[in-house]
Amino acid sequence: MDLLTDLQELLKKLNLKRKNLKVTVKIFGRKTPVELNFREVEKE
């Protein structure tokens, strides 16, 4: 199992003014909130 490939994310909040977003990432069955800058995210 590749940990980075198997991550599941859910967008919770998008802040255009601060240029960041909050997602909930499910790792090993636990939901963990993560705040990311737009530069840390890429669109597929």
Condensed to tens digits (0 to 9), the pLDDT of residues 13-32 reads 889 999 999 988 887 888 88
* Whole-number pLDDT of residue 37: 93
Residue percentage of the chain with pLDDT more than 90: 32
Q: Is the pLDDT of residue 2 over 50?
A: no
> CB-side exposure of 4: number of CA atoms within 13 Å?
0
What is the torsion angle, in degrees rounded to the nearest 10, for the CA atoms of residue 14, residue 29, residue 3 and residue 18?
Answer: 10
Q: Is the pLDDT of residue 8 over 90?
A: no
What is the C-alpha separation between 27 and 38, in angstroms, rounded? 21
